[in-house]
Structure 1
């Protein structure tokens, strides 16, 4: 990759709901390029090709979502168009509609992209990016907890909760990362794009960042979302939470509802976004995940405990929903569970 004649200007967007760990995680990782690897190998540290600026709506200090005081470098309206705009995250619950106070940020992001900037968006930052209209008729990703709501609010966008990293836009100037700590994948992708894959790999190896981590879906809670507002459906959900291993659970819920079967299924889907059998599968698989994390029970026995007589069917369903086989899930998350138990004194 030929050297650039000027630094790559990266604007880190600081809105009140930003989390400082992600905002400054971007800052620290980008500025480590060409510096830390050489330092650790006894060479003279180089200078990062990136120059970061933390920009807010008005440039004044504020407290972020986690209470940390943020001191922006300036206001977005006063800054020249950067090479990259980073929406690091936005700590609002799924379903939260941004108020008009965000309109200047939405317009500024759109203006920067229209002027040639790349827009990089991590995790829940998609809530803000989607408001710009730049994702219309595009593939996109976000944290698994947000994608269902985003799909309903922005049906013209194809949402992929299983994607950890995604490039979008006709000229590939939208870069998005998905769930949880996948923001580090976004930073590595930015480094690879502007400083080269070798520089990105050096940063990854220093910071133990895994570009081949499990799909974000493996981390997701399958039973996300609360009780339905429909009291009849909520009563059936409560029953299912206690009786999901039983045979014919949907038939039992239909009887509990007192409705004709077709009416019940239609009402259940309208209230929860899924059919009653799909809902039972989600309950069963979530319990199976817990058993895989915390016990040494054989997979066949776990399948039986959560309600599956055919362990082969259970394994196929688990892989389809979680993106890992039960054995792979146990290897990845069982070890983590044991480590957490040890450090908390629970193991």
Structure 2
């Protein structure tokens, strides 16, 4: 099977080449390592660029394409890897030629897949209308704004959609590992996918991407009154009745304030405060040993039960689960930083 990996100037080399290596090693690498036999790989990845010429992708890495769009007219699977572009700037028509080529491949029977922010280009094809979609957590606001007819799923690491489930999207960052394993399992076999996972120490992690997401604290200059209220909320999110206080600070009638705040931020004032509080709660859970009840109190919730339910709904796990998963990581990283600082001190 031929797998076309679409390369653009905004592709990242890590995802592009990572998928290339993962797919090309299915069955072949395991048999070579375990049974000392040489077998043909069942998947044939090919890097495809607009004109087939070498191109520099993001971070100035030179990529040599195997084929151009015009010459790659037969592909069983097409994958667009992540796009390192701002989520606040529309994609516009810069990759419309690639989008048209992807539509043509889909109409010819190919499966289309995207990794991470590559969903921006997959959505540009128009094939996701009425379907579920997944992308990097930092791009959902942009995607909802540009493609409101798609049912974006920020809590899912992998989504399949469309006729015959031939549209496949993975979520944030290294979820491309899950995309690669999924495609191998689907088109080669579960055994081969498991072999690749064991060879590369990959885990199809069940943790919701929401647990990794951080609030996108974007400054908005269109409404300075609301911007002033955002600044106040960032410093006083734990206060009693913060929404009422923001209404007072704004000097606006409450209904007008609610409407303007939602227009400026995409969130209601209360949801905005909840997001600020939960982001701080994440930091406290990662870095310290405060009981969950004390964390709730610190960020402005007197009812620890309500805090726990809200945290689970918004983050995808309980506060205790979050601490177990990310507290260990935070301590390990802090230990590495401390070790490096100690090594740098003169003796």
1:17-166 paired onto structure 2 within 5 Å: 17-166=10-159
- Of 261, 265, 276, the match for 1:268: 261
1:213-232 paired onto structure 2 within 5 Å: 213-221=206-214, 223-229=215-221, 230-232=223-225
Q: Mean alpha-carbon deviation: is it higher for 98-107 or for 116-125?
A: 98-107
- Of 252, 272, 277, the match for 2:270: 277
2:165 equivalent in structure 1: 172
2:164 is paired with a residue of what secondary structure? coil
On the 8 A contact 1:123/1:180 being kept in 2, the answer is yes
| TM-score, length-scaled by structure 1 | 0.95
On the 8 A contact 2:284/2:295 being kept in 1, the answer is yes
| TM-score, length-scaled by structure 2 | 0.95
2:59 is paired with a residue of what secondary structure? coil
Separation (CA, whole Å) in 1 of partners of 2:244 and 2:38: 68
1:184 equivalent in structure 2: 177
CA root-mean-square deviation: 1.4
Separation (CA, whole Å) in 1 of partners of 2:93 and 2:238: 47
1:171 is paired with a residue of what secondary structure? helix
Gaps of 5+ in 1: 1-7
Residues 231-264 of structure 1: CA deviation (Å, up to 9, x unaligned): 0001000000001111111111111001111111
Separation (CA, whole Å) in 2 of partners of 1:99 and 1:281: 33
- Of 290, 315, 324, the match for 2:317: 324
1:40 is paired with a residue of what secondary structure? helix
1:335 equivalent in structure 2: 328
1:228-267 paired onto structure 2 within 5 Å: 228-229=220-221, 230-267=223-260
2:47 is paired with a residue of what secondary structure? strand
Residues 14-59 of structure 1: CA deviation (Å, up to 9, x unaligned): 0110000000001000111112223332432432101111110111
Separation (CA, whole Å) in 2 of partners of 1:132 and 1:21: 24
Distance change >3 Å, CA 135–CA 17, structure 1 → 2: same
State the Cα distance separating 1:123 from its structure 2 match. 1.0
2:9 is paired with a residue of what secondary structure? coil
1:191 is paired with a residue of what secondary structure? helix
Separation (CA, whole Å) in 2 of partners of 1:317 and 1:101: 40
Q: Mean alpha-carbon deviation: is it higher for 223-232 or for 314-323?
A: 223-232
Residues 134-158 of structure 1: CA deviation (Å, up to 9, x unaligned): 1111111111111222112112111
Separation (CA, whole Å) in 1 of partners of 2:150 and 2:246: 35
State the Cα distance separating 1:99 from its structure 2 match. 4.1
2:5 is paired with a residue of what secondary structure? strand
On the 8 A contact 1:161/1:179 being kept in 2, the answer is no
Number of equivalenced pairs? 339
Separation (CA, whole Å) in 1 of partners of 2:213 and 2:112: 26
State the Cα distance separating 1:86 from its structure 2 match. 0.6
1:329 is paired with a residue of what secondary structure? helix
On the 8 A contact 1:34/1:45 being kept in 2, the answer is no
2:345 equivalent in structure 1: none
Gaps of 5+ in 2: 342-347
2:190 equivalent in structure 1: 197
2:344 equivalent in structure 1: none
On the 8 A contact 1:180/1:216 being kept in 2, the answer is no
